[in-house]
Structure 1
Amino acid sequence: MQTQQLHQTRYSDAELAEFKVIIDTKLAEARRQLQFYLDQLSEQTNSEDGKVRGLDDGVGTMVNEDTHRLASRQQQLIQHLENALLRIDNKVYGICRATGELISPERLRIVPHTTLSIHAKQNR
């Protein structure tokens, strides 16, 4: 298979379907996590306990900023995963944007939204 992969210009429809399942699973989890963070922010904003007074204001602000940062990262991950699904639909998924070669399936299983091979990433 290694020799075949070197000459392969894109992943087969069956391989793309396998990656789609992985991405759909990660996307569902990322959306659940984002909703959790959004619920936390809403709770912090709307509850009296979330409106800490006095010396604790700094701590409350820090927690709020951390939750915003986590929510923002989840939104970015969701966007990257959705973009990966578009690449699957267009049958260009798994092609390194730097080298034009296929990204290893092992890497795609771990980081399914990547657009760079490990070699290209290390050389950046």
Structure 2
Amino acid sequence: MSKEEKTAYSPEELKEFEEIILKKLQSAKEELNVLKESLSKRNDSGTGYTASTSKLLEDGADTLERESQNQLAARQQKFIINLENALIRIKNGTYGVCVDTGKLISKERLMAVPHTMQSIEAKLAQR
């Protein structure tokens, strides 16, 4: 049974992807807000200067934790931008088309990584 290769997803399929992306986007924004709140609370809870060794160690641990949260927040912001760009691609009709091969990205891949712009074949070829 030979089936013609699709070049684009149907409006119904695009609507399904859009709903998935919107849910992920809402969740990602909520997570980013939690991270930002946590970072601002950490910045507000500084204590006065003391030169004790334990205070220096505590400050070092706090700095490391703050840096880790900053990195998580940056990654979350990038994820949000990628999801928003995927919504734009849905609107302009280019969603689901691999930027490297020009072929349709599998539905399974888009369900797992809805903001991707590459088919699994193109992604693996990058390595």
Fold shared, TM-score > 0.5 on shorter chain: yes
Other structure's SS at 1:44 match: helix
Give distance in 1, aligned partners of 2:14 and 2:57: 54
1:105-124 residue pairs with structure 2 within 5 A? Answer: 105-124=107-126
Q: CA deviation at 1:9?
A: 1.4
CA distance, structure 2, for counterparts of residue 101 and residue 55 of structure 1? 54
**Aligned pairs, number:** 121
Aligned residue in 1 for 2:55: 53
Larger Rg, first or second structure (1 or 2): 2
What TM-score results when the alignment is normalised by the length of structure 2?
0.89
Match of 1:39 in 2: 37
The answer on 1:11 being equivalent to 2:9 is yes
Give the Cα–Cα distance (whole angstroms) in 2 for the partners of residues 48 and 41 of structure 1: 12
Unaligned runs of 5+ in 2: none
Report the Cα distance in structure 1 between the residues aligned to 2:120 and 2:8, rounded to whole angstroms.
17
Mapping of residues 13-32 of structure 1, within 5 Å:
13-32=11-30
**Distance (whole Å) between structure 2 residues aligned to residue 41 and residue 35 of structure 1:** 10
List runs of 5+ in structure 1 lacking aligned partners: none
Percent of matched pairs sharing the same residue: 45
2:120 aligned partner, one-letter code: I
After superposition, the CA RMSD in angstroms is 1.9
- Shift >4 Å, 4+ stretches: none
Alignment TM-score, normalising by the size of structure 1: 0.91
